[in-house]
Amino acid sequence: MICPRHLRVFISVVICILISTTSGRSIYNDYMQQRKQLIQDDSKLRIGGKLVLRSDEKLVSDFFMKEKTKIIESSRQNLTLYMPAVSFFLSKPQIDNSTLLKLIQRMPKGGALHLHDMSVTSLDWLIKNATYRDNVYMCVGDDSLINFHVFKSPPKHSDCVWHSVKDERAKAASVDDFDLMLKRNLSLLATDPLTTYPDNAHIWIRFARYFLQVYNLIFYAPIFKDYYWRTLEEFRADNVQYIELRGAMSGVFDLDHTVHNEEFGVQLYQNVTTEFVQAYPDFVGAKVIMSGSRNSKAVKILDQVKTAMYLNQKYPDFMMGYDLVGNEAAYNPLLFYINELLYPATQSPPYKLPYFFHAGETNWEGTDIDDNLADAILLNATRIGHGYALNKHPKLAQLVRAKNIPVEVNPISNQVLHLVSDQRNHPMASLMADNFPIVISSDDCATWEALPLSHDFYVAFMDMSGEDADLTFLKQLAINSIRYSAMSHSEKHKAMKLWETKWDMFIKGVIEEYMPSYHLK
């Protein structure tokens, strides 16, 4: 029995416990509320974080997320190697086998804005179609790499002994083996540059060699035209609606040794594009960006800048500007050509030649080449190619955001070229978490046997965004690719309409195929 005095003590103890429990619960509740808000605020900042999905999109998003979570959690919890983030040379078969890749392939992805014209049509087509033609010759260099060339007849005196590809193929025990040998000889994938070459500098040498291997095959006028047509076909098949292609524009040649100038190249690209869009009205189109090489002499760059001005003025809806390409670490920084690149601004009246500079595709922070990012911004670049080093430059990053300069990110290219190993460390993951103006592209996808755009989208989705980033992330990337393209306002409007129609079909199609019971309701 509790006497009155003890009762008082007992009651005060109970009250005290109650107060403390209540206060504990309220502290806990407040905490959980704040926590939810903070995590939400953080993830809303990411690319797509502010998009709101319709209920049918949400269904598809949940299906994407089921696949994404399955892959991530099975690796995280079972301690198995997380394949989506490791070398593309190891992960490709597993990625190719996934439902998620199929979904991403099926998704309309908008535009691919950072591509190089000699390295975007599949090697399969190059071998199985281009090298089957008349007048195609091959020779094996001292480095065991094959050079292709189209000749009426090969030169009699040459360090490299030329053989007709047709003859060699006819002599081969197996045509399939012969063609596979040719493909392996071109492909970076076959040699696994992530283990074969120790660093960025060495894989660049091999990579640059590819262009010498194929240049005199691809640039033969009839092949060039078909090669480009095939580029468009393959991107369309990968559900890309629009591309922007960098290339020298000059160098297309005929069998009689005629070498055509830049305008010829631009016209050819434009004509093929027009034909293609007529044949496939669900494809938006293409534009080109003339590009020089950062190891050229200054006087050559000046000529190119002048040509680019002329072509941009004459084909303002198609030849959109100028870029400098090649290994930034090994070649000249933009500053080396500053007088030439300022040339359009010194004209009277000043000419605004749009620049689309590769800049900051490097791990060499604080070196001359790292300053390319500053020059790209100061030269009013319309977009920046790669910008891999941007997150190490807070002031430049701030300007890129303020000026809304889109950055063209090419995840697999950066991994193949040894800038990053585990894709989850890709520096753009941080800028994508902060809604930077970013588009995903595929650079030289054919060289490492990647799909036109889907593999790069896959890597962005699985490695460069959080486990909780859903379809809004991918949808925003597709929207960005149209918004940040070089299309005019009205072209963008039209492209967006076309993309939206495709998007709705995609949502409908995925629901029909994967959620038939829901569909039947």
**Which residues from 116-135 bind a copy of itself, rule CB under 8 A?**
none
Catalytic residue among 386, 418, 426, 455: 386
Catalytic residue among 244, 328, 361, 408: 361
Residue number, 334 or 486, with CB nearest to a copy of itself: 334
Q: How far apart are CA 143 and CA 368, in angstroms?
A: 32
| Residues contacting 3, CB < 8 A, separation 6+ | none
Q: How far apart are CA 243 and CA 288, in angstroms?
A: 8
Written as one string, the DSSP assignment of 188-214 is: HHHH-HHHHS-SHHHHHHHHHHHHHHH
Q: How far apart are CA 62 and CA 507, in angstroms?
A: 12
Q: How far apart are CA 129 and CA 479, in angstroms?
A: 34
The reply to whether 355 sits near a copy of itself by the rule CB under 8 A is no
Q: How far is the CB of 13 from a copy of itself (least distance, A)?
A: 13
Q: How far is the CB of 451 from a copy of itself (least distance, A)?
A: 24
Closest CA to 387 of 421, 412, 366, 357: 357
Give the one residue of 62, 275, 365, 512 binding a copy of itself; rule: CB under 8 A: 365
User: What would the x/- binding string for a copy of itself be over residues 412 to 451, using CB under 8 A?
Assistant: -------xxxx-xx-x-xx--xx-----------------
* CB burial of residue 484 (10 Å; 0-12, 13-18, 19+): buried
Q: Are 93 and 502 in contact (CB under 8 A)?
A: no
The reply to whether 41 sits near a copy of itself by the rule CB under 8 A is yes
Written as one string, the DSSP assignment of 454-487 is: HHHHHHHHHHSS-TT--HHHHHHHHHHHHHTSS-
Q: How far is the CB of 39 from a copy of itself (least distance, A)?
A: 5
Q: How far is the CB of 394 from a copy of itself (least distance, A)?
A: 4
Q: How far is the CB of 131 from a copy of itself (least distance, A)?
A: 32
The reply to whether 380 sits near a copy of itself by the rule CB under 8 A is no
Give the one residue of 286, 396, 474, 482 binding a copy of itself; rule: CB under 8 A: 396
Give the one residue of 152, 342, 403, 500 binding a copy of itself; rule: CB under 8 A: 342
Determine whether 361 is an active site residue.
yes
User: What would the x/- binding string for a copy of itself be over residues 299 to 338, using CB under 8 A?
Assistant: ------------------------------xx----x--x
Residue showing tokens 């000699």: 118
The reply to whether 154 sits near a copy of itself by the rule CB under 8 A is no
Q: At what angle do helices 454-463 and 88-96 cross, to 10 degrees?
A: 100
**Which residues from 80-119 bind a copy of itself, rule CB under 8 A?**
81-82, 85
Closest CA to 358 of 388, 391, 402: 388
Q: How far is the CB of 318 from a copy of itself (least distance, A)?
A: 29
Q: Which one of the spans 41-49, 100-108, 182-190, 318-326 is the region binding a copy of itself (CB under 8 A)? A: 41-49
**Which residues from 50-79 bind a copy of itself, rule CB under 8 A?**
72-73, 76, 79
**Catalytic machinery residues:** 361, 386
